[in-house]
Amino acid sequence: MRKPTFATTRGLSATMVAVALLVSACGDDDDSNDAGDETTEPADDAGSDETTAPDETEDTAADDATEDTAADDATGDALLPDHDSLSFGALWETPPIIGVDTEDTTVPVGAAPDLAAALAPILGVEVEWQNMQWPAQLPGVQSGVVDALFGQVSVTEERELSIVDLIPFTKTTFSLLLPEGNPDEVTQLADACGLTIGVPVGSVQTELVERISAESCEPNGEDAIEPAEYQGATAAISAIQAGTIDGWLDGTTSINEAAASGVAAFATAELPDSEWPPQYTGIAVGKDQPEVSLALVEGLQILIEDGSYGEIMEAWGMEAAAVTADEVVINPITGTPAGEVAAE
């Protein structure tokens, strides 16, 4: 049976943001489950003469046989039969896409982990996660530290052509997180001349701020918009509260979650299409693993067509960022085939 099961609650995401703002997101490279280390205590009546009833033994054996058959069927249909596991990397600070479990900050939760868990039986793999700062992500997937990035990678032409293969899983706009009351009356980046706007390190947001500043501020004799790079949302949001920066630029779903977290009062402003039209966020796969890219495309299309993808996106309040099965293709901007690098 292809359709996976999953459990998630929308209410977790606001709490996840609150935790992210209070403590730095953390995660070990070892993603083993502590529960697996538990041992069963011997029963007090271990010396009892009681035996298991025959019908109970038969039922257990039948259940085991059913489970074995299902596992064999799943393995036979697996899209990645030559892979036992897939490791995904992301920065666990951008809920609702990915954040941390409030009870165990070594466990990622959000739309991306739920999608990965739903993909696992279709691909026939175990899923592992690493919490990775943004500057280490693209080099990490290129060098094989992880198989894929699943959280923060914007789909761009340059990345498709020479760095990674990209498979869209959401489509979103950018928004600004601003101080309470929006004292500078910022409704778009062009209103932020002379202000300092926080952006992720080495991101497309940095390039966007610089472009809008060059187009809208400097030609009109206004001071430039100053981008201030931060490793993640936690430090940037603290900087807004301290008055160090005037805003934080990120995906709209993550900005809305931060504003609703209850940690502090914020205003928000979604960028108009003229500054940044909706663009894809993708799963990034190293170009040395084209079979993984092809399998992820097929797996995501299955989840979209059977309704699982829509349920996950709805559970995390991300319906507006959903993509269609037709949009799930490898390298949607350039059409570069999986595994190919464009000639220089």
pTM for the full predicted model: 0.75
* Matching fold, domains 12-21+78-172+278-327 and 174-270: yes
Residue 139 to residue 145: CA distance in whole angstroms: 8
CATH superfamily entry for domain 12-21+78-172+278-327: Periplasmic binding protein-like II (3.40.190.10)
Domain ranges of the chain: 12-21+78-172+278-327, 174-270
List, in order, residues 6 or more apart from 105 with CB less than 8 Å away.
Answer: 19, 23, 25, 26, 27
Q: For 210-219, write each residue's pLDDT tens digit.
A: 999 999 999 9
How far lies 182's CA from each of 158, 185, 208, 256, in Å? Answer: 35, 5, 21, 15
CA 171 to chain centre: 12
Mean pLDDT in each 10-residue stretch from start to end of the chain (344 residues)? 42 45 36 34 36 38 39 62 97 94 92 98 98 93 97 95 97 96 97 97 93 96 97 91 97 92 90 96 97 98 98 96 98 97 77
Spatial strand order of the sheet with 196-200 comes to: 226-230, 196-200, 247-251, 174-179, 266-270
Start-to-end Cα distance in the chain: 45
In sequence order, the 6+-apart residues with CB closer than 8 A to the CB of 65 are: none
What pLDDT is attached to residue 76? 53
pLDDT at 177: 98
Under CATH, what is the fold of the domain 174-270?
D-Maltodextrin-Binding Protein; domain 2 (3.40.190)
The answer to whether the bond into 200 is cis (omega within 30° of 0) is no
What local confidence, expressed as pLDDT, does residue 344 receive? 59
- How many other β-carbons are positioned within 10 Å of the β-carbon of residue 198? 25
Q: Are 232 and 250 in contact (CB under 8 A)?
A: no
